[in-house]
Structure 1
C-alpha cells in the first residue's frame, strides 16, 4: 500500500487521497508493477510538464474506432480518458481483457446450435437402455 500511495503522490494523480483512506486495494500484479515502475512515473511527470508548457505532442488520429457501446469500452474509456499519449504512459492490455474487449458478444449464444430432433432421439435411446 505504501508503494502505491507513494507512486500516486509522485505522479500527482487523483487517486492519492482515495487510496490513503483504504486499508487495502485489489490490484492485478502486473497493474501494480506498471503503476509503481519508475519509468512510468517519469513518463507521467513528463506528460504533466508538457501539458503545463503547452508543448504536448499530438498523436495522429486513429483510422478505426470502436463503435460498440458496451460496459467494457465505457470502463476502458473512463480509465484512460485522462491520458493524452498511451505509448508514453506505457499502457497495455491484460491479455484476457484485450480478448474480452475485442470479442465481446452481446446477446449471442456461444457453442454449438441445439439440434432438438437429435436431443429427443438420444433421450429415447437412453430411456430404452436404462
Structure 2
C-alpha cells in the first residue's frame, strides 16, 4: 500500500495469523490452547498479482450442525477480520471440509493426525 509518506507492506505471516485467529474464534478455541497450534497448519495464504488475498482452510465440521453454515461462518469471520485490520481485499476464503466429528476436541485430534500423515 502506497501513501504519500511511504508504504506499508503486510507479510503473509501476518495475514496467516489473522486468518488463523479468526478461524479459532469460530471453533471457540483460544490461541493459548495447546491444541490450537496443531490447527495452524490448516490455514494457508495466497496473494494475487493485484495484492488481493486468498485464504485456504482445511477443517472438520461438527456432527449434527449445518456444514454449509459452519463453512460460511469461517469464511465470513476470516474475510471481515483481514479486510478490517489490513484494508487488503480478500478475494476468496476457500474452506475444505475434510471430515465430520463429534466435538471440536476431535477436530484437534484430526489436525494432529493429518499433520503426522503429511510428514511421512
TM-score relative to the length of structure 2:
0.24
Higher RCO (CA-CA < 8 Å; seq separation 6+): 2
* Bigger proportion of residues as strand: 2
* Bigger proportion of residues as helix: 1
TM-score relative to the length of structure 1:
0.23
